[in-house]
Amino acid sequence: MSLNAKWVPMKWPCGPLEIARLNQSKSEDNELKKMVEAWAQPSALQLLRETPINCLVVDWASGAAEDGAQQLALKPLIDAGRQLGLSFVGKVSAKDNLAAVVQAGRTAGLDAVILQGSGSQALDLPIIVQLSSDAIEWDATTAIFSTTGNVWPAAKLPVMNGDIASAGPTGAPWVDSNGWFSLLARQMAPGKTLWLDIDPPDSTSILPASDYCLAVADSRVYGSRWILSLDSRMRAAMLKRDPQAMDAWTKICATLSFFDANAKWEAYKPMGVLAVVSDFRGQNAAQSGEVLNLLNRRQIQFLIMDRARALGDAVEGLKGILWMDDEPPTSEQHSQLLAFVQQGGLVIASKYWGPSGITPYKEDWLFDYTSYNVLKGRIVVADKGFPDPYQLAMDAHVMVSRRNDFARLYNPGTTNCYLSVDPDGRKQLVQVLNYSSRVARYVTLWVSAKVQSSRLLSPGSQALPPMESAPASEGTNFDLPPFPVNCAVEIERSL
């Protein structure tokens, strides 16, 4: 057995362990308990027919008294699922008798197990390590690895609640996204697949389909996968074939199918005008990670570089490099950075490690930083170490300048975009995400490229109406038609 990077995972909470959790929460909702019992029946798997879902994540052992009953209850479900071509991954949080627990899972038909925390014990099934996103050990990740502590993708609109505003310091909508973390995982764990473990927020009613579709898109656009997790009301309604729930389920599956049909995009390389360099470990992880988060919110196209590696050709095409860590570059990196600066590049650092004999100077518009001109470029150093991540993200944006953007969104409100390019460098892809629960309207996308041809794609069977494009100053404008969650613009660039 081996882990399959093409698995499309979904949580399937059911059985005695789930009933025990409900009892511990003192839930008296008998309908909810009936739903949990029904979800354990093989007949419930009919909901997955002709859908992209091909892997179910089930609770296998938690160290509770109900573990034995749970495994007995899951056996018919696993048998029936395997007949339908489904794979099963068992979540194991029990610490005692781990080898025996995993052996029982193999016998029952599990394909892999999810284990919390790093470990090196040899087991009878492939392991998916699950780690906390705020204290991840990159060297401990497995071919597929999972993280907890992720955010539910959404826009927090600037609405006042008494004297409290649920928005950023600017009063603009505050977007929660895991996109930056997915990009970080691609760099720090190359060739591996990240599964984001996020449950939907509690709600008194079925969540809108767009909320689920956004959680799918926010992961797949940036190169990770969300372990699909439905709220209890949605699951109960689906068993009853409720029209609203089934319509939402159709839209969720259409979004999954959209990304599966365009799997070639996963090989595209991210585009960036700014590179953020750090080891993203230990004491450097928190600040560097938050800077990535805030750069993404500001719609800055950035690349991520692991400080443990040589910079190599990755600096080509960049306008700026943000050297996050106090640790200086190695001699090889130092030579590469100086070559980058001498050719006109910008390096932002917390300490000066450039050539001696360069006269520093201050710029009136750039507070708390000192600049050093090195031939055609410059090194900009924070006078008292880097400020807080929010300020640093703004400062980096100003220093790199919007005139170097590859793309911009106008009338964006709660939209964001991610840019990538195919391995041959001819096709550029702009994926646009709408983090509002309302349809995005009147969105104009500007790209710096001169466009030979373009194509608009979106999830679902109904194609979006044609988009209008027009040459603009040093680029091309696209007037996007209204779209609910996400769309993509494929661009064939003129030579």
Contact 393, 295 (CB under 8 A): yes
CATH architecture entry for 272-404:
3-Layer(aba) Sandwich (3.40)
Encode pLDDT of 406-415 as tens digits.
999 998 679 9
Domain with CATH 3.40.50.880 in the chain: 272-404
Q: Which amino acid is at 484?
A: P
Q: Which CATH class is domain 407-493?
A: mainly beta
Mean pLDDT for 419-433 is 94
User: pLDDT at position 426, please?
Assistant: 86
How many C-beta neighbours within 10 Å does residue 80 have?
16
Q: Compute the distance between CA of residue 192 and CA of residue 198 in angstroms, rounded to an integer.
A: 19
CATH for 9-261, among 3.20.20, 3.55.50, 1.10.1060, 2.60.120?
3.20.20
pLDDT band of 463, cuts 50, 70, 90: low
Q: Is 361 exposed, middle or buried (0-12, 13-18, 19+ CB in 10 A)?
A: exposed
pLDDT at 464: 63
Residue 114's DSSP bridge partners are: 91, 128
Exposure letters 435-445 (e unless 16+ CB within 10 A, then b) = bbbeebeebbb
Query: How confident is the model over 93-114, as a mean pLDDT?
Result: 94
**Stretch(es) of the chain classified as CATH 2.60.40.1180:** 407-493
C-alpha 436: how far from chain center: 17
pLDDT digits (tens, 9 = 90+) for 41-97: 999 999 999 999 999 999 999 999 999 999 999 999 999 999 999 999 999 998 888
Find, among 460, 405, 397, 455, the residue nearest to 431 by Cα: 455
What are 336-387's pLDDT values in tens digits? 999 999 999 999 999 999 999 999 999 988 889 999 999 999 999 999 999 9
Return d(Cα 491, Cα 495) in angstroms, integer. Answer: 12
Q: Which two tokens stand for residue 259?
A: 């990304």
pLDDT for 466 equals 65
Phi, psi angle pair for 347, to nearest 5°: -120, 130
Rounded to whole angstroms, the Cα distance separating 223 from 9 reads 15
Residue type, 36: V
Q: Burial letters for 256-294: b for 16+ Cβ neighbours within 10 Å, e otherwise?
A: bbbbeebeebeebebbbbbbbbbbbbeebbebbbbbbbb
Where along the chain do the CATH 3.20.20 domains lie?
9-261
CA distance 291 to 304: 11
